[in-house]
């Protein structure tokens, strides 16, 4: 023994005010614990379903051995015994579905009927296997088939003890709540699949574009009229009404005054356009060829080349 208590003592928290400061500390909880009275119904219900589970396992084992032995006459043993458990496992799965739908009588009808059909097929196969064993083998087959019937019967009795017959309005209310919850779950899963597909599409496009060689830079023609200051006007001759044609005087050239610190105008380079598209792509913008042309103010063919260069640059950063 290491001196530690075998069972940890229950504690409770006390809050007090000590010299104007609220403090909390734990003390042993000596409140007597009230135990629930013994529930015989719950214990018997657990015993009933435990017996049903054990009988189901035995029925599945017996059915698999019997049907597998019969099928091994025409197929390899591993395949015969693997397929033999399909029928018994099938009606056992229908039992689980019937349990999950025990509060919905309409939806529980389908697994109940399918389970009975699979049980009949399994029992018939067990009887046939017994008949092939010898003159009195069919009696053994019937007894073996009744094992599956007994397991199914115990499950039916257990389901009958817990099944609650709801009134039509409450059953419809419960079904409506389940449908609303299922709809919300389906929409959430659909949105998740859409976002995952969108991410995979973007990654695939970037991977395909990365495999292409980068387009050679193309020098854009400089627009002389755009680079010219807006306040610059060309000098035009002024012709007075009483002045001869050969004595026309030119108006004085206006003097362009630039503000202090004003950036000097320069032609727009292809690298600047690529950087602008790269910045927008990194911010999460979805840019098409037409959108790039609208942003840069160039033709769609030129915008497409700039957009591809920006996507390649974005892929390198990732």
Spatial distance between the Cα atoms of 68 and 58, rounded to a whole number of angstroms: 15
Spatial distance between the Cα atoms of 267 and 303, rounded to a whole number of angstroms: 17
Residue among 161, 164, 163, 165 at smallest CA distance from 47: 161
CB of 127 closer than 8 Å to CB of 187: no
pTM of the entire predicted model: 0.47
Three-state DSSP at 286 gives: coil
Give tens-digit pLDDT for 144-203.
888 888 888 888 888 888 777 778 888 888 888 888 888 999 999 999 999 999 889 988
Spatial distance between the Cα atoms of 116 and 122, rounded to a whole number of angstroms: 10
CB of 91 closer than 8 Å to CB of 118: yes
Q: pLDDT band at 296, cuts 50/70/90?
A: confident
Q: pLDDT band at 83, cuts 50/70/90?
A: confident
Q: Residue 249: what pLDDT?
A: 44
Question: CA 48 → CA 58, 111, 191, distances in Å?
Answer: 16, 21, 44
Give tens-digit pLDDT for 234-247.
444 444 444 444 44
């Amino acid at each position: 023994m290491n001196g530690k208590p075998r069972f940890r003592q229950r504690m409770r928290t006390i809050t007090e005010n000590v010299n104007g400061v609220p403090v909390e500390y734990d003390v042993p909880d000596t409140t007597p614990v009230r135990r629930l009275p013994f529930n015989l119904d719950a214990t018997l219900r657990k015993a009933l379903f435990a017996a049903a589970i054990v009988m189901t396992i035995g029925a599945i084992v017996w059915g698999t051995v019997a049907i597998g032995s019969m099928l091994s006459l025409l197929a390899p043993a591993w395949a015969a015994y693997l397929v033999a458990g399909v029928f018994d496992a099938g009606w056992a799965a229908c039992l689980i579905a019937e349990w999950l739908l025990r509060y919905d009588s309409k939806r529980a009808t389908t697994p109940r009927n399918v389970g009975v059909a699979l049980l009949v097929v399994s029992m018939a196969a067990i009887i046939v296997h017994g008949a092939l064993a010898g003159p009195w083998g069919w009696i053994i087959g019937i007894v073996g088939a009744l094992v599956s019937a007994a397991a199914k019967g115990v499950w039916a009795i257990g389901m009958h003890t817990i099944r609650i017959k709801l009134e039509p309005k409450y059953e419809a209310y419960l079904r409506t709540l389940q449908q609303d919850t299922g709809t919300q779950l389906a929409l959430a899963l659909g949105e998740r699949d859409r976002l995952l597909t969108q991410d995979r599409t973007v990654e695939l496009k970037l991977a395909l574009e990365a495999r292409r060689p980068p387009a050679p830079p193309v020098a854009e023609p400089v627009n002389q009229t755009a680079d010219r200051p807006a306040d610059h006007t060309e000098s035009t001759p002024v012709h007075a009404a009483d002045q001869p044609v050969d004595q026309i005087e030119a108006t004085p050239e206006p003097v362009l005054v630039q503000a202090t610190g004003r950036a000097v105008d320069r032609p727009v380079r292809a690298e600047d356009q690529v950087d602008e598209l790269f910045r927008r792509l990194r911010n999460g913008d979805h840019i098409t060829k037409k959108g790039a042309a609208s942003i840069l103010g160039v033709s769609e063919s030129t915008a497409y080349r700039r957009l591809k260069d920006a996507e390649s640059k974005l892929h390198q950063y990732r």
